[in-house]
Structure 1
Amino acid sequence: MIRDMERRKPGPPSKGEREEVRARVPVQLRRALQAEATRRGMTFNDFVGEALAELVGVPYGPQGGLPLTKAS
């Protein structure tokens, strides 16, 4: 049991397997995405992940943040 506790990292629970995606976008677009994520109370990564998932019709994940259509 102690060994299991040693392996756990502090912070929120895992969102599952993830893979890094890099993209170069215009500065104005990056700022607009960040502003919208902040307005919705989401992290930048969750906001972009939700937006891309909705665009291609793939679920974002069990703990992927608020759905774009339900965030205020």
Structure 2
Amino acid sequence: MEAVKNEFDRFTRQEATFIFVTNEIGLGGVSTNRLQRKFTDLQGWANQYIAAQADEVYLMVSGIPLKIKQTP
């Protein structure tokens, strides 16, 4: 996870607007496959880290954007 954080931080040091699109794969059941669980955990941690740094966060549900974070 530290490598993901470092890469994200390095990338976003640029003076620019970024739009990240990720998958929310943690809303389903828990896989019996160890590797799948590890990937799901890493994706969830990465999503949380990215969202914590973002000014705005949207969750898309059936093509409908739901704003879940807005920084004043």
Q: Note whether the superposition's TM-score is higher than 0.5.
A: no
Q: Relative CO higher for 1 or 2, CA cutoff 8 Å, sep ≥ 6?
A: 1
TM-score relative to the length of structure 2 = 0.30
Higher-Rg structure is: 1
TM-score, normalisation: structure 1: 0.30
- Hey, which of these two has a bigger chunk of strand by percent? 2
